[in-house]
Amino acid sequence: MARTDPRRPPDLAVNHHTWPQLVAAMDGAITPCRNSSEWLSENPRQQQRAAALCRGCSVLAECRDFALAVNEPNGVWGGTTPTDRKAQRRRAQREKEAA
Ligand code: SF4
């Protein structure tokens, strides 16, 4: 799977992934977060480091889009920190209102 820019605002109408779909995508995938607590850290430095490691993950897009779709408030998902996701949702909302 091609790597995706985690800063790209997702089109949730197109890219909505459910939890079962994400779990299925992760089956057999190399996921750097497996067996690591860094992805659940509340420390911004650790979150940034974890998010950078996500960029090598083959399910980055599915993971990020799931977290955005369910408005996941905690942890690093798909190369995004909680702060990144808040900013992406605000940006998507502004774009929706401007359209
Ligand atoms: S993209 Fe998702 S599954 Fe992959 S390493 Fe990051 S948090 Fe884990």
Long-range contacts of 68-71 (CB under 8 A, 24+ apart): 68/10, 68/12, 69/12, 69/15, 69/16, 69/17, 70/19
Q: What is the pLDDT of residues 53-87, one digit of tens each?
A: 999 999 999 999 889 888 899 999 999 999 999 99
Q: What is the pLDDT of residues 15-54, one digit of tens each?
A: 556 788 888 888 888 899 988 899 999 999 999 999 999 9
Testing ligand 1's pocket by substitution, the residue of 26, 27, 33 carrying the most ligand atoms inside 8 A of its CB is 33
Cα gap 15→21, rounded to integer Å: 11
Specify the pLDDT at position 3: 39
Specify the pLDDT at position 82: 96
Does the CB atom of residue 66 touch ligand 1 within 6 A? no
DSSP state of 74: S
Does the CB atom of residue 33 touch ligand 1 within 6 A? yes
Which helix or strand (DSSP H or E) is residue 93 part of?
helix 82-98
The Å distance, Cα 43 to ligand 1 centre, comes to: 17
Domain ranges in the chain?
Answer: 15-26+36-98
Tally helices (H) and strands (E) across the chain.
Answer: 5, 0
